[in-house]
Structures are given as C-alpha cells and as structure tokens.
Amino acid sequence: MKRRIILLGPPGSGKGTLGAQLKEKLAVGHVCSGHLLRQEVEKNSLFGKTAQPYIARGELVPDETVFAVMGNWLQHANLEVGFALDGFPRTVDQAKVLDGWLAERARPVELALLFTADLEETLERLAGRRSCPQCGRVYHVKRVPPRVAGRCDDCQTELVQRSDDRDSVLRQRFEVYRTKTAPLQDYYTGQGKLVVLDTSMEPERRFAAAWAALG
Ligand code: AP5
C-alpha cells in the first residue's frame, strides 16, 4: 500500500480533512505546511514574522522560509511509516526540492491525490470551517461537526475560525492556486503518480475513493 502521499487542491477542497482521515486509518503522519507556518506565527518566531504578512494576503510564503520549516519536519519524519503531505509542495520548484530530499533517503513520493473544487462550493465550506489551533484538525459546523460543539475531538482545545478565510483573501488564494500550484498536476502526471478525486463527495465516500487509490 502506498504510504508517501501528496495532497493537492485549491483552498477548502478538503486536503486537511482527508489528511486527518489518512492519519487515523493508515497511521501515516499528517503534515500541513499552512498549520506549521501558522504555529510559527503564533510563536512569533523569525520564520513566523516572515510568513505572517504573506499568509494574511493569501500569497505564498517565500521559499527560504517554507524550505526551512518543511526541511525541519522532514529531518524527523519516519519515511517508512509514511506521510500525507498537505500544502507542500505548492509550486513545481518546491516539488523538485522535495523530490531531491526524498531521493537522498531513497523514499520517493508514491501518490499525488488531486482534489477538484469550484469557488462557490468552497466559499460555503470555508464559511463553516473551524480549526483546532493546537493540533490543526479541521471541522465544519454542519457537515463535519466535532462531537462537542466548539471543541476539538482529539485535544479538546477551543476551535477557531481562520483569519485568511475572509472572502477577499480567499479569492487571492484561489488565484495563487490557479497560477502557481495547478501546474503540479502535469508534474505528477508526468511521474505517473496523479489520481484525481471528486471533492463534492461526502467525506466518507471520498475517503473510500482515496483508499482505493492507495493500492
Ligand atoms: P493552508 O493552510 O495549506 O491552506 P489551503 O491550501 O488554502 O487549504 P485549506 O487549509 O484552506 O483547505 P483544505 O483543502 O485543507 O480544506 P479542509 O479540509 O480544511 O495554507 C495557508 C497559507 O499558508 C497559504 O495561503 C500560504 O500563504 C501559506 N503556505 C502554506 N503552504 C505553503 C507553501 N508550500 N509555500 C508557500 N506558502 C505556503 O476543508 C474545508 C472545509 O470543508 C472544512 O470545514 C471541512 O470540514 C469541510 N469539508 C472538507 N471535505 C468535505 C466534504 N467532502 N464534504 C463536505 N465538507 C467538507
């Protein structure tokens, strides 16, 4: 079964939701670059100070910062256990760097799952999204609710709404996705690793489709 998985798709398409399901059912590590960067912002670290204005505008954080944060994660990652990598890579250049890092350990990416989503569906989803600032798990107030309203199922932390989910920032994040991240579809197709998933399916049905793609 494939265990080194990239999750691709526009904002709000469900990468984080599937990543959490893969962590639970496949026991892989779920790593969201956006969550790691937001934690740096919370800590007010040097990386966080660099990242904050880019996140607030819905633009990509500079590669130097992203590579430092993600390189640190990879150094400690158990590549035999595997990973669901959510939000990184986000450009072809980032994908080439990741491939280089993994080649050094002879543990390449095995599967890239691409979510398709339209803007209107996504705006509705993100209006109801609540996230855990501690562990990063995501919910939807109606469609994927926590067991106790307003509290994370995993760590009981109070859930929050992300500040970059405002309409104007979200449209910018979509535009960045269209111009900079969408070319990764061709990159992973060229490697024979891309599988496209319909994101309009309910989370459990979509998980079943993803599971089938793991082989
Ligand atoms: P990041 O945190 O990665 O945000 P994103 O990619 O825009 O994706 P989201 O987290 O918004 O959505 P998602 O696809 O995970 O959807 P979710 O599962 O939550 O990045 C934020 C920022 O960090 C970037 O703008 C950038 O500035 C910076 N950054 C990050 N990585 C970077 C990189 N590599 N390089 C440079 N900069 C970087 O689902 C959304 C909602 O829908 C939830 O409420 C969920 O419950 C619900 N839902 C999910 N699936 C379903 C379903 N099937 N049916 C019904 N509801 C569903």
pLDDT one-digit tens code per residue, 119-167: 788 888 888 999 999 998 999 999 899 999 999 999 999 999 988 988 8
Rg (CA), the chain: 16
Residue 78: pLDDT above 80? Answer: yes
Question: Quick check: CB of 22 below 6 Å from ligand 1?
Answer: no
Instruction: Choose one of 30, 54, 60 to mutate for the ligand 1 pocket test, by most ligand atoms within 8 angstroms of C-beta.
Output: 60
**Alpha-carbon separation of residue 13 from 21, 43, 53, 119, 188 (angstroms):** 14, 28, 23, 9, 18
Task: Kindly name the residue from 2, 57, 162, 171 that is annotated as catalytic.
Answer: 162
Percent of the chain surpassing pLDDT 90: 82
> Is 97's C-beta closer than 6 angstroms to any atom of ligand 1?
no
Give me the mean pLDDT over the 45-63 stretch.
Answer: 98
- CB count, 10 Å around CB of 123? 16
What is the rounded CA–CA span in Å between residue 164 and residue 152? 20
pLDDT, position 200 = 81
How would residue 27 be classed by pLDDT, with cut points 50, 70 and 90? very high
Is 130 part of the annotated catalytic residue set?
no
- What is the structure's pLDDT at 214? 94
Give the pLDDT band (50/70/90) at residue 45: very high
pLDDT value of position 198: 85
pTM for the full predicted model: 0.92
Residue-averaged pLDDT of the chain? 94
Task: Establish whether residue 29 lines the binding site of ligand 1, counting it when its CB lies within 6 angstroms of any ligand atom.
Answer: no
Determine phi and psi for 127, rounding to 5 degrees: -60, -30
pLDDT in the model for residue 125: 86
Q: Higher-confidence residue: 6 or 118?
A: 6
pLDDT bin (cut points 50, 70, 90) of residue 203 is: confident
pLDDT of 195 reads 97
Question: What confidence tens digit (pLDDT) does each residue in 154-188 have?
Answer: 999 999 998 898 888 988 999 999 999 999 999 99
Cβ atoms 59, 172 nearer than 8 A = yes
